[in-house]
Amino acid sequence: MARMSKENVARFFALLAAERPDPTTELDYINPYTLLVAVVLSAQATDVGVNKATEPLFRVADTPAKMVALGEARLRDTIKTIGLYRTKAANVIRLSEMLIEKHDGEVPANREALEELPGVGRKTANVVLNVAFGQPTIAVDTHIFRLANRTGLAPGKDPRAVEEALLAVVPERYLRHAHHWLILHGRYVCTARNPKCPSCVVSHLCLYAAKTTVDDPARPAKAAKAVTPSPARRSSRRGRVSSRQANGRRAPRRARRPGAR
């Protein structure tokens, strides 16, 4: 696939930066620990759904010690509206115990230590390092993966390849917020179905061949039309009567053939 030129990559981020000067995560959190928990819970779940569950949770458990004291059973009950909540509850309790045992209850600011924690992979570690500690990491989720390939910004066959390609092409001055500019643009503009190309500020730089237009919005599937007889046909059907009916007599029933049922 064609790749965006270095000059256009710089223009691309300059325009996203102008549109959203101060992008940030849409997950609610209080401190690095609650951010870590929220990101772990967000796997295969929406930020909105996670925020609804963590709002009461973080009121009573905003540190590893408080979370361990809360216990796995009560944690499960609090987050049961989130997918995979049983596995996630077990991971949150165990990672909280590990933070107490190995890091004095603090969230480590390095990738290796983060990825040792249950439920924490490269993407989660990247989010925490970027949001909590200001490191220039890029967490490639489904939105960023789609956008990077679709636009020609940083094509790659898997999230790790896209991450490395983005780190190689994003100008240094934009690296700190690149993750959020891309995820928000992918979530709200460069959507999977019917991307909003007419209102996209970087549409003229994008190499996507199948751009939508003002006259080409997403169209819902057409429902099958019910076949309705024309008024003339309905009236002709209602007007059909036999000569016997017209004379007030019922038509006799047909005699059955021998053996017929």
Residues assigned a catalytic role: 123, 141
Taking alpha carbons only, the member of 26, 22, 29 closest to residue 132 is 29
Where helices occur in 134-229 by DSSP H, the ranges are: 142-151, 159-169, 175-188
Q: How far is 105 from 120, CA to CA, in rounded Å? A: 16
- Report whether 178 contacts 166 (CB < 8 A): yes
Tokens of 17: 């930066």
Amino acid type, 106:
E
Where helices occur in the chain by DSSP H, the ranges are: 6-19, 32-41, 47-60, 64-70, 72-78, 85-103, 111-115, 122-133, 142-151, 159-169, 175-188, 231-238, 243-246
Q: How far is 13 from 6, CA to CA, in rounded Å? A: 11
Q: How far is 23 from 182, CA to CA, in rounded Å? A: 10
The count of C-alpha atoms lying within 13 angstroms of the C-alpha of 154, restricted to the half-sphere facing its C-beta, is 26
Neighbours of 105 (CB within 10 A): 14
Neighbours of 20 (CB within 10 A): 14
Taking alpha carbons only, the member of 183, 205, 140, 186 closest to residue 23 is 183
